[in-house]
Amino acid sequence: MLLLGRSQVEALLDVDSLIEVLSSAMSDLSAGRASVPDRVAALVPEHEGFLAAMPGFLPSAGVLMTKLVSLFPHNDGVRLPTHQALIVAFDPDTGEPAALLDGRAITAARTGACSALSARLLAREDATVLAVLGTGVQARSHARAICRVRPIREIRIAGRDPAKAAVLAEELSAALEGDVRAVSSYAEALDGADIAAATTHAVEPVIRRSWLTPGVHITSVGYNPAGREVDDATVIEALVCVESRQAVLAPFPAGSNDLLMPIRGGLITADHVHAELGELIAGHRAGRTTPDQITLYKSVGVAAQDAAATALVLASAREQSIGEEITLR
C-alpha cells in the first residue's frame, strides 16, 4: 500500500491539471456514471465537532476511495486545523487497500479548483477583481486557483481578524501577480468585485445582496451547521449552480443551509437550483445569459472531487516514484 504525506500530496497536485480532471468528474457525476452516496457523520457534541465519511467510486478515473474528514470548529483556539482528513484508495477490481493519503491537502486543493471551474463556466471573461472572504486554508486555495481561469489583477482579502487578512495579503502578493491587499470589511471587499470567494465558517451571511455589484460570480464553500454564508436576497436573485442537487439539498451533514433555509422559509423551491456543474459542461443547461446576471456556485463538497484528485496524485506519485510502500499485517 502506498503511503503519501501532506507535503508529498501538495507537491504532486498541479492546479491546472486538477481543474481539468474535476471537469470530467463533475460530468460523470451529473451523468450518473459515478457512485457518490451522501456524506454521513458521527457527532461529538461536547466539541461541536463531527467525523464524516465520504465514499466514492469514479470509474472513468479508476478510483474507489473514501475520505474520513473531521470538523472541529474550536480547534482555532488551540492552533490546530479545524478540518483534518485521511483518504484511503482501494483497488476497484479487488477491493484491496491500495493507498493511504493525507486528505487535508486534497480537500483544500480540490475545493478551490472546483470553484475555479465554476468561475470558468459562469464568471464574466473580463473578470479582473477578486474578493476573498476568509483567511484560512481555503482562502489561499481559492485565490491561487481562480487566478488560473480569469485575468485577475486585483485581490481583496477580508476576514474576522484584520491581522490574519494582512498576513494572507502579504503571502499572496509574493506568489501572485497584481495588486493584493487586505481590506477592513466584507462589504469593502465585495464593492466592485467581479468574483467573490466565500471561504468562512460564518454564522451570519458574509455575502449580502446590497454589497454586490451586478454581474458578480460568487463561490461559496464555507460550512457551519449553525449558519450560512449567503443571504436570502442573493440566493433569490442569483442563477444558482451546485455540484449535486442531491448533496446540496440533503439533510445534515451533507446539505447547504444557504439553500435549505430559504426553501424551508418558502422563499424558493428546490427547482431554484438551476444546474449542476456537470450539466453546464455537457451543455444540457445554459450558464450566464447577461453581463449583469449574478451567478452563485454553492459547494458542499462531494467525494467525486476527492476521487478525481486522488487519481491525479496517485498517477503522479507512481510516475515519479514518490511515497513509501507499506504492508498492513
**Cβ neighbours for 255, distance < 8 A, ≥ 6 positions apart:** 247, 248, 249, 300
Residue 78: the pLDDT is 65
What percentage of the chain has pLDDT greater than the value 70? 99
Residue 186: the pLDDT is 98
Q: State the average pLDDT for the chain.
A: 96
Nearest CA among 112, 127, 111, 109 for reference residue 295: 127
pLDDT digits (tens, 9 = 90+) for 209-265: 999 999 999 999 998 888 999 999 999 999 999 999 999 999 988 899 999 999 999
Residue 202: the pLDDT is 93
- The reply to whether 115-301 shares the fold of 2-106+304-325 is no
Cell of 269: 423551491
Cα gap 162→19, rounded to integer Å: 31
Residue 252: the pLDDT is 87
CATH number attached to the domain at 2-106+304-325: 3.30.1780.10
In the chain, what are the domain boundaries?
A: 2-106+304-325, 115-301
Q: Is the CATH number 3.30.540.10 carried by domain 115-301?
A: no
Q: From the centroid of its chain, how far is CA 256?
A: 13
DSSP three-state, residue 123: coil
Q: From the centroid of its chain, how far is CA 55?
A: 17
What percentage of the chain has pLDDT greater than the value 90? 93
Residue 76 has pLDDT above 80, yes or no: no
Residue 179 has pLDDT above 70, yes or no: yes
State pTM to two decimals: 0.96
Question: Residues 28, 38: contact at Cβ < 8 Å?
Answer: no
DSSP three-state, residue 144: helix
Cα gap 100→256, rounded to integer Å: 29
DSSP three-state, residue 53: strand
